[in-house]
Amino acid sequence: MFKIKDLNVAYGHVQVLWDVSIEVGQGEIVSVLGPNGAGKSTMLQTALGLLHPMKSANESTITYRDERIDHMAPEEIVRRGIALVTEAKHLFTEMSVLDNLKMGAYIERARRKREESLTKVFGLFPRLEERKDKRARTLSGGERQMLAIGRALMSIPDLLLIDEPSIGLQPTLISKTFDIIKGIRDQGVTILMVEQNVFFTLEISDRAYVMENGKIVMEGRGQDLLGDDHIKKAYLAM
């Protein structure tokens, strides 16, 4: 469904991704794990057209449903059915919860089904319906994460890119957040997620990649990686 091949990305003269290749199949949860600064978020931003691959010996390609999208503008990529859940700090904080959600339905096909999508989002996150008239800046960290996910779902994506969903959350909310992500997949949305929280991520992932210093160093089934000695030592303190 989605494939990144030989992705190289730089900020100015500093290269941060080196020949990164990943694949995501229809209906999967695929995660990219690694420490802060490994390049995970850069990969997602490039996938959505917010950053661009650098010219290199190996041509970088990003394809979605067998169509190259690495040359497309972000709005064109969203129209094809991909949405990005950014970190919750990127909400429109002075706008209401409801207006934040409506902003997610700006493409034509999503506008036509906006009320239906709102009903689904409120069903998934009843707390957002309770606070729909409140400004986003008044929400707790967990509520902001719900809003960030809900806003992305308003575009009716087939592929959801999720950037660090557990960042800044209280420990009691992390497990619930990953349960919600699994539930979204069960409703038919394919998920590519980047995360630092290794245990909860691998618990729900069909497959996972490990990124260190801008390179993919390991890949495998989620449950298999949970038992890997390197993962245990480097990320689970075991």
Q: Which CATH number fits domain 1-81+157-238: 3.40.190.290, 3.40.50.300, 3.40.50.2300, 3.10.20.740?
A: 3.40.50.300
| Among 194, 160, 218, CA closest to 40 | 194
Q: Does 234 have pLDDT greater than 90?
A: no
Asked if residue 206 lies in contact with residue 222, where contact means CB atoms within 8 angstroms, the answer is yes
What DSSP state is assigned to residue 169? -
Compute the radius of gyration of the chain from its Cα atoms: 17
Residues 6+ apart with CB under 8 A from 188: 27, 158
Would you kindly state where each structural domain of the chain is located, as residue ranges? 1-81+157-238, 85-156
Write the DSSP string, 122-162. HHH-HHHHHTTTSBGGGS-HHHHHHHHHHHHHTT--SEEEE
The predicted structure's pLDDT at residue 37: 81
User: Cα(114)–Cα(153) distance, rounded to whole angstroms?
Assistant: 10
Q: What is the pLDDT of residue 226?
A: 85
Does the pLDDT of residue 85 top 50, yes or no?
yes
Q: What share of the chain is helix, strand, coil (3-state, %, to 5)?
A: 40, 25, 35
pLDDT at position 210 over 90? yes
The model's pLDDT over 101-145, given as tens digits with 9 standing for 90+, comes to 999 998 888 999 999 999 999 999 999 999 999 999 999 888 998
